[in-house]
């Protein structure tokens, strides 16, 4: 028997499955909630995130990318139907930083990667060493969990800037070498009626930049703190979920991790307004990313 509320579920375990679930729950529960033996779990209602219990095998990786403040984290929350991602966290973040969240849509286990994109057409100062280290971390996690099944390009309805274009290049051209389907989600359209009109009016503007998508959704991802638009947001959530499931590949894009990383690191370096010296770069790659000296030297090769 179970009852759910706001993305969490109370489990009242039956005797038939109590032993297995008890073992799993011991890993998830805080020490305060743990029981010393599984018999006591019987008739012991506990609160756990249902996705935590059911995620894992056959999981598909979806990367949300786009410029600073485009609404990526808000979009992750819209898709999940609850607050999983921190919004407006750029003050503490760095390009290519990412957080991942497990969600389940119908029978699909998905891992949503909420990433931080470029906040300008160039990377300033020393940030690019940090960005390279974050890229390494992202590629490592993706490589270990089956690669990338779908890209979601998140942009705020408005004109296309150089920064938007560079973010597109970073993820679509460089990280995925054009080998992963991309869908576009346009946010900030709460005043557009109908929202899809934005796409009809603007899609041709993407052409000169080579930005193409296999599907798109026009939405608002604005947080509904007072729950005034619950019904409307629910419709948008279903629209975006349907878009993701329709275009998510079965097999993930996953190439040899070293070549993959070298390609991305070279591009990030090319965006730097003041690239560091060869030595600083190689030391950072060895220290921050755990690369061998030989691999670190390859990032420098033309
Ligand atoms: N009006 C409006 N505001 C939005 C929308 N989506 C997000 N916001 C707001 O825009 C701000 C930035 O949203 P985030 O979701 O943090 O954007 P982000 O792309 O994750 O930002 P960074 O992680 O900092 O790059 C927040 O104040 C959101 O509430 C939208 O569709 N419409
Ligand atoms: Mg964010």
17 pLDDT higher than 90: no
Pairing state between β 60-65 and 182-187 = unpaired
User: Are 37 and 23 a contacting pair, CB within 8 Å?
Assistant: no
Question: How high is the pLDDT of residue 122?
Answer: 87
Question: How high is the pLDDT of residue 9?
Answer: 41
Question: Which residue has better confidence, 36 or 290?
Answer: 290
Question: How high is the pLDDT of residue 32?
Answer: 42
Residue range 277-297: mean pLDDT, rounded: 82
What are the strands of the beta sheet with 2-5, ordered from one edge?
2-5, 8-11, 46-49
Tens of pLDDT, residue by residue over 206-228, are 999 999 999 999 999 998 877 77
222 lines ligand 1 (CB under 6 A): yes
Question: How high is the pLDDT of residue 121?
Answer: 87
Tens of pLDDT, residue by residue over 154-188, are 999 988 999 999 999 999 999 999 999 999 999 99
Residue range 227-250: mean pLDDT, rounded: 94
Query: Measured in angstroms, how far is the CA atom of residue 2 from the centroid of ligand 1?
Result: 34
Question: How high is the pLDDT of residue 90?
Answer: 57
Residue 197 CB neighbour total at 10 angstroms: 12
Tens of pLDDT, residue by residue over 87-112, are 875 556 789 999 999 999 999 999 99
224 lines ligand 1 (CB under 6 A): no
The residue whose C-alpha atom lies closest to atom 7 belonging to ligand 1 is 71
50 pLDDT higher than 90: no
Pairing state between β 60-65 and 108-115 = parallel
Tens of pLDDT, residue by residue over 122-155, are 888 778 888 998 999 999 999 999 999 999 999 9
118 lines ligand 1 (CB under 6 A): no
116 lines ligand 1 (CB under 6 A): yes
User: What's the mean per-residue pLDDT of the chain?
Assistant: 81
Question: How high is the pLDDT of residue 85?
Answer: 94
The minimum-distance atom of ligand 1 relative to the CA of 90 is 24
User: Are 83 and 77 a contacting pair, CB within 8 Å?
Assistant: yes
Query: Measured in angstroms, how far is the CA atom of residue 88 from the centroid of ligand 2?
Result: 6
The residue whose C-alpha atom lies closest to atom 5 belonging to ligand 1 is 222
Question: How high is the pLDDT of residue 257?
Answer: 86
Question: Which-ligand-closest: CA of 152?
Answer: 1
Question: How high is the pLDDT of residue 92?
Answer: 63
Question: Which residue has better confidence, 87 or 17?
Answer: 87
Residue range 272-286: mean pLDDT, rounded: 83
The minimum-distance atom of ligand 1 relative to the CA of 189 is 31
Tens of pLDDT, residue by residue over 198-208, are 999 999 999 99
Query: Measured in angstroms, how far is the CA atom of residue 190 from the centroid of ligand 1?
Result: 13
Residue range 53-78: mean pLDDT, rounded: 86
| Residue with the two structure tokens 């709460």 | 190
Q: Quick one: pLDDT band at residue 280, thresholds 50, 70, 90?
A: confident
Domains of the chain: 2-54 (no CATH), 60-247 (3.40.50.300), 257-300 (no CATH)
45 pLDDT higher than 50: no
């Amino acid at each position: 028997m179970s009852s759910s509320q706001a993305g969490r579920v109370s489990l009242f375990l039956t005797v038939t499955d109590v032993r297995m679930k008890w073992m799993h729950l011991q890993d998830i529960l805080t020490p305060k909630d743990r029981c010393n033996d599984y018999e006591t779990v019987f008739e012991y209602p506990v609160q756990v995130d249902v996705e935590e219990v059911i995620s894992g095998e056959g999981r598909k990786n979806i990367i949300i990318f786009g410029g600073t403040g485009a609404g990526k984290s808000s979009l992750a929350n819209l898709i999940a139907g609850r607050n999983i991602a921190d919004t407006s966290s750029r003050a503490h973040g760095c390009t290519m930083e990412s957080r991942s969240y497990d969600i389940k849509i119908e029978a699909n286990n998905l891992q949503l990667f909420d990433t931080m994109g470029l906040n300008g057409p160039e990377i300033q100062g020393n940030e690019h060493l940090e960005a390279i280290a974050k890229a390494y971390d992202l590629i490592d996690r993706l490589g270990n969990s089956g690669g990338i099944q779908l890209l979601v390009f998140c942009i705020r309805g408005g004109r296309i800037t150089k920064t938007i274009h560079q973010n597109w290049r970073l993820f679509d051209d460089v990280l995925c070498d054009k080998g992963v389907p991309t869908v576009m989600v346009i946010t900030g359209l709460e005043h557009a009626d109908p929202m899809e009109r934005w796409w009809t009016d603007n899609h041709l503007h993407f052409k000169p930049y080579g930005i193409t998508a296999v599907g798109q959704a026009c939405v608002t991802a604005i947080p509904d703190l007072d729950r005034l638009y619950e019904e409307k947001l629910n419709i948008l959530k279903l629209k975006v979920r349907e878009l993701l499931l329709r275009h998510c590949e079965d097999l993930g894009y996953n190439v040899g991790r070293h070549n993959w990383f070298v390609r991305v690191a070279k591009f990030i370096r090319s965006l730097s307004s003041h690239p560091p010296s060869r030595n600083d770069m190689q030391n950072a790659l060895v220290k921050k990313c755990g690369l061998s000296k030989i691999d670190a030297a390859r990032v420098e090769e033309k």
